[in-house]
Amino acid sequence: MGTDSTPDSTPEPKPSGRGRLSRPRVLRAAVALVDREGLTALTMRSLAVDLGVEPMALYRYADGKQALLDGMVEAFYAEVNERVGDGAGGGTAEGDWRARLHHIGKAFYQVADAHPEVFPLVATRPLSVPLARRPASMLQLNELVLTVLSGAGLDDRGTLRLYRAVVGWAIGFLLVDKRQVIDNPDDPEPLLRLGLHRLPAAEYPLLRTLAPLLIDHDAETEFATGLDALLDRLVP
């Protein structure tokens, strides 16, 4: 094993990249590339390099960069659905709709936290696509959230109102929290790390004063607490 130099220990040649490709694998690789290098680094060519294939091999799975951007939204929701199904909270009793909603919300938060460069696409790309043509993974999560919220005992109109409020809170919170652009990631001083030292203190006193809290806060707890506050307000 490993050190044996006999012919039997010679690794078998890997299959061609084309043979290993699938749409989920291509999309996961696109997400990984963006996680590592940012959206501007994503091209069909750079993705092909990561996958070890020729760029033309990717066009079977996405017909260009715009399709890759939409595909990453699909991959994002697929990862959320996987976390929702794998977590212990997925088995929560049907009647405990709040606990089930928190389980879904936690999965959504964690995937957004893992892919902050991808999350803005989740908030914006679906807006240009009719509801029925959005990714199946997104529609599946929408259906699940509506199913869970139907356990709150509201009528149909109230359930939809609650659904819009919950989705709006989740996406809005994460857009604010995950899109704080770090100016100097190696600087331990919050003011310098965020680049807020460049702002005149007399004009932006609170932004400068609150810099440590912008860097160091328990965002996942704030997310869950805000969700509870919303539910307390809207559900009798």
Sole residue written with tokens 């390099």: 49
Q: What is the mean pLDDT of residues 133-149?
A: 96
Closest CA to 61 of 134, 86, 70: 70
Q: Is residue 45 part of a domain?
A: no
Q: Which two tokens stand for residue 27?
A: 């999309």
Q: Which two tokens stand for residue 205?
A: 């006193």
Q: Is residue 53 part of a domain?
A: no
Reported as a single tens digit per residue, the pLDDT across 149-160 is: 999 999 999 999
Q: Is residue 218 part of a domain?
A: yes
DSSP string, 219-235: HHHHHHHHHHHHHHHH-
CATH number assigned to the domain comprising residue 223:
1.10.357.10
Reported as a single tens digit per residue, the pLDDT across 54-110 is: 999 999 999 999 999 999 999 999 999 999 996 544 444 445 999 999 999 999 999
Q: Is residue 177 part of a domain?
A: yes
Reported as a single tens digit per residue, the pLDDT across 31-62 is: 999 999 999 999 999 999 999 999 999 999 99
Q: Give the whole-angstrom CA distance, residue 80 versus residue 23.
A: 17
Query: Which domain range does residue 100 map to?
Result: 90-234
The rounded percent of the chain whose pLDDT value lies above 90 is: 72
Cβ neighbors of 151 (< 8 A, separation 6 or more) are: 94, 95, 97, 100
Q: Is residue 22 part of a domain?
A: no
Q: Is residue 116 part of a domain?
A: yes
Q: Which two tokens stand for residue 134?
A: 């959005």
Number of domains comprising the chain: 1
Q: Give the whole-angstrom CA distance, residue 149 versus residue 156.
A: 10
Q: What is the mean pLDDT of residues 25-34?
A: 97
Q: Is residue 12 part of a domain?
A: no
Is residue 19 predicted with pLDDT exceeding 80?
Answer: no
Q: Is residue 47 part of a domain?
A: no
- In eight-state DSSP terms, residue 14 is P
